[in-house]
Structure 1
Amino acid sequence: MYSEIDHNISKHVSFTSEELKIFHALLEEKSVSKKEFLLKEGDFCDFEGFVLKGCLRKYYINENGMEVIVQFAIEDSWISDIASFSEHKPSHFFIEALEDCKLLILNPSKKEELLSKIPKFERVFRILVQRNLSVTQDRLVNTIAKTAPEKYLDFLEHYPSIPQRVAQHYIASYLGISAEFLSKVRTRLSKS
Structure 2
Amino acid sequence: MTTPPPEDSRLLSLLKLFRYYKKLGEQAMAQVPEAELFQTIAPGANSISIIVGHLNGNMRSRWTDFLNTDGEKAWRQRDQEFEEQYNSREQILEAWETGWQCLFSALEGLDSQSLTQTVYIRGQAHSVEGAIHRQLAHYSYHCGQIVLLAKCAAGNHWTSLSIPKGGSDAFNQQRFNAPRAEGHYTDNLK
**Structure 1 and Structure 2 fold alike (TM over 0.5):** no
Q: TM-score range by the shorter chain?
A: under 0.3
**Structure whose residues are more often strand by fraction:** 1
Structure 2 length-normalised TM: 0.25
Structure 1 length-normalised TM: 0.25
Name which structure has the greater RCO, CA cutoff 8 Å, separation 6+. Answer: 2
**Structure whose residues are more often helix by fraction:** 2
